[in-house]
Amino acid sequence: MKRIVTLLLACSVILSTTSTFAQLRQAQRRPGARQAEAAPLVKNKTMIELDDQFNTPDGMTVDAAGNIILAVPNAYARDGGAWLLKITPENKVEKYFRLRPHRQTSKACPLGIVFGDDGHLYICDGQTIGGDTTHKARIVRVVHENGQPVREQTLITGLVQANGIDFANGKIYFTETQFVEGNPEIPMESGVFCFDLKEFPPTTAERREPINVAPNGNDPHCIYKFKTHNKDWPIGANGIALSNDKKKVYVANFGDQEIIELTLDDSHAKVVTDRVCVKGGPIKSVDGMKMCPGGFIFFADFAGNAVLVANPENGKVVVLAKDRVGGTGANGELDRCSEVCVRGDKVYVSNIDLPYENKNDKPHSVTIIDLKPVLDKLVKALK
């Protein structure tokens, strides 16, 4: 399954210290004619092992200091709480903030997360991963003071499956993976929402009623809808990422194995054109994704248990790493991966390890992929 002015500047500083994305940027500008082979570029990977209680790692974002903040919905936790963890630049894991359980479902299920340029953290509390599909999902803000998390506020309610989230232009953009409760009929509709930060209460507010969205995507904040046709994977809008100039939104259609490019108007709140820019080939699904400064999209393929890189300008796709479904995730292997995060010349991949043709088992981990050894091949494949 995220950028803000503060975060973007921080990430850009970190990433620009290497030549990796400068080369990728050059490769993107060269026209190409052939789809990359599906064989993975990377076989040997390392990992960060998490404690047993953090058994379903998912959304990630980078703070201004270069720490990765990792959301762990803990779908199988008995106490219902969920943790945000911090992965330092030295890859040390620390507890960052504990989210309160939802009052009605008794669970917190953070998926996509992103820092706003106001320094606060915005979170999709998905709820469906905890077993509830009755419009209990929400958007939560974790208020920060002096760079530290201090309290949470519920901003938006009435969603079924809030999932991916990004930030730009003073607004949050997030996906709702399905509009209707329960098991939806195919084709299934889902979409993208946009809210201006000015619509939310001040961070100092003790208590204020959240914005409750109209159901079935009929809320005016829903700026784009589309349908998913895959009966085997009836999962719609998932990951989301904005272009580096913040004029385009890229949204994942998980089940139909495609990325849709949305061009925004001058208000940054309306879609003026749309097109499928990446589709099929080696893709089995499109889950959490990130835009790198070079203009390429790194994304997790949950169904294929792989990490892929796409060039939205020419539709080329590279399989960066891939492992068999049903493994344990030992030795850095991917294990039903769901989100990516680029830091420096490394890609961090959260292994949510959900039990779809799979078992949620040890080790619970974040895979680390080093881009440096495969840079030349990656550049050639993206031409």
User: What is the mean pLDDT of the segment spanning 190-209?
Assistant: 92
Peptide bond into 73 cis (omega under 30): no
> Which structure tokens are listed for 103?
């009052």
Quote the CA–CA distance of 113 and 140 in Å, as a whole number: 9
Distance in angstroms (rounded) separating the CA atoms of residues 351 and 82? 16
Q: Are 375 and 368 in contact (CB under 8 A)?
A: no
Share of the chain above pLDDT 90, in %: 81
Query: Distance between CA atoms of 235 and 292, rounded to whole angstroms?
Result: 25
Structure tokens that stand for 34 in this block:
């052939």
The sign of the torsion formed by the CA atoms of 276, 277, 280, 283 equals: negative
pLDDT of 37 > 80? The answer is no
Mean pLDDT, the chain, rounded, equals 89
Distance of CA 8 to the CA centre of its chain: 15
Looking from the CA of 177 toward its CB, the CA atoms found within 13 Å total 30
Among 178, 213, 179, residue whose Cα is nearest residue 195:
213
pLDDT of res. 38: 67
Residue 12 has a pLDDT of 30
Confidence of residue 293 (pLDDT cuts 50, 70, 90): confident
Average the pLDDT over 120-128 and give the result: 96
Per-domain residue ranges of the chain: 5-381
Q: What is the DSSP letter of 374?
A: G
Lowest mean pLDDT among 2-6, 169-173, 318-322: 2-6
- Cα 115 to chain centroid distance, Å, stands at 13
Q: What is the pLDDT of residues 242-266, one digit of tens each?
A: 999 999 999 999 999 999 999 999 9
* Mean pLDDT value of segment 314-321: 97
Q: Is 0.75 topped by the overall pTM?
A: yes
Query: pLDDT confidence of 21, banded at 50, 70, 90?
Result: very low
- pLDDT of 246 reads 96
7 pLDDT more than 70 = no
Structure confidence by residue, pLDDT tens digits, 162-196: 999 999 999 999 999 999 998 889 999 999 999 99
With a pLDDT cut of 70, the percent of the chain lying above it is: 89
**CA 140 vs CA 98, 115, 156, 193, 349: distances in Å:** 13, 12, 7, 15, 23
Q: Distance (Å, rounded) from C-alpha 55 to C-alpha 57?
A: 6
Query: Furthest-apart CA pair in the chain: how many Å?
Result: 57
- The model's confidence at residue 74, banded by pLDDT at 50, 70 and 90, is confident
Helix (H), strand (E) at residue 228? strand 222-228
pLDDT band at 124 (very low <50, low <70, confident <90, very high): very high
The CATH number, out of the four listed (2.120.10.30, 2.60.40.10, 3.40.50.1450, 3.40.50.720), of the domain defined by the range 5-381:
2.120.10.30
Return the structure tokens found at 50: 């998490």
**Residue 245's closest CA among 258, 270, 264, 259?**
264
Q: Which residues pair with residue 93 across a beta bridge?
A: 87
- Find the DSSP H helices in 16-139: 20-29
Say if residue 80's pLDDT is above 70: no
**Closest-CA residue to 175 (of 158, 199, 159, 153):** 159
3-state secondary structure of 305: coil
Calculate mean pLDDT across residues 278-306. Answer: 96
User: What pLDDT does residue 86 have?
Assistant: 98
Handedness of CA 123, 127, 133, 135 (dihedral sign): negative
pLDDT at res. 31? 38
Mean of pLDDT values over 118-139: 95
Report the alpha-carbon distance of residue 61 to residue 153 in Å, rounded: 19
Q: Which residues pair with 273 in a beta bridge?
A: 263
3-class SS of residue 206? coil
Q: What is the pLDDT of residue 20?
A: 39
Helix (H, G, I), strand (E, B) or coil at 197: helix
If pLDDT is split at 50, 70 and 90, which confidence band does 19 have? very low
